[in-house]
Each structure stands twice: as C-alpha cells, then as structure tokens.
Amino acid sequence: MIVYIGIFSCVLAYIAYTDIRFRRIGNIEVLLCLALVLAGYLIFGLKLNYIACIISFAIGLLLYRFSIIGAGDVKLLSVLILLVKNDSISGFLLLMSLLGALLAIIIIIFNCRKSGVPYGVAIAISFFVVLIYMN
C-alpha cells in the first residue's frame, strides 16, 4: 500500500506542477489517475464511490459550462472522488475549498499574470490527505 500511495502522490505532484505552470490538466494524467483508482479497487479492495463521482461530474459540468472551473479540474475531481468514502466527502470538499481559496489569495497578492486558479493543486493535496487518512 505504501508503494501505491507513493506512485499516486508522484502523479498528483506532476498534475499540480502542470496546473501551476500551464494551467492545464491533461487527459493522460487523468486517465493515469483512473488507472490507479482501478488498481486500488482491484488489488487492495478499495471501495468505489460511484454516486459521488456522478454527482461531482454533473455539478462540475455545470460549473465548466459557465466557465467557473476548468474541464481538467472536473475530470480530476470526478476520478479521485471515486476513492473517497461517504463519511470523508465533506472533509475532502472543505479542505479542497479552503486550499482553493488560499491559492486564490496567493494569486491576488502576488499578482500572477496567468488567468485562473490552479484548482488541480487543491484537489490533489486534498485527495492526498484523504488517501493518507483512509489508510
């Protein structure tokens, strides 16, 4: 399980880096996360939370439609929330929101020239905390 968490954290760190640097979360990275989620399901018997995935994807699509959040953020959140247990979802979303707000404040203070908030960073860190907490 330690190796699994290590590999997952490397992928999440790369996603956070590309989101900060390019404001983009690629489909290949999201598919790699999906493969890791499915590996956790098949190898370690982790439960998948389909309901949370569907709800987060539906809400995310609406937010994307109105240009509030990026498509990569929606896909990443929908894939990662598959592994978040029902009793951890509120904590996950709260931590993600607080980290996203902190990132927005940092961007405002340092007057970054790139548009948008690299929300993939908040999603990745929040998921990592939940993944560690679950095990």
The string of pLDDT tens digits covering residues 101-131 is 999 999 888 877 777 889 999 999 999 999 8
- What pLDDT sits at residue 135? 63
- What pLDDT sits at residue 43? 95
Give me 49's structure tokens.
Answer: 């939370």
CA 75 from centre of chain: 8
pLDDT above 80 for 134: no
Query: What is the b/e burial string over 44-76, where b = at least 16 CB atoms within 10 angstroms of the residue's CB?
Result: eebeebeebbeebbeebeeebeeeebbebbbbb
Q: Which residue has the higher pLDDT, 15 or 134?
A: 15
Backbone angles phi, psi at 114, to 5 degrees: -75, 145
Planar angle of CA 96, 106, 56, nearest 5 degrees:
20
* Whether the Cβ atoms of residue 103 and residue 119 lie closer than 8 Å to each other: yes
- What pLDDT sits at residue 114? 75
Average pLDDT taken over every residue of the chain: 93
Residues 6+ apart with CB under 8 A from 127: 12, 80, 83, 84, 92
34-70: pLDDT as tens digits: 999 999 999 999 999 999 999 999 999 999 999 999 9
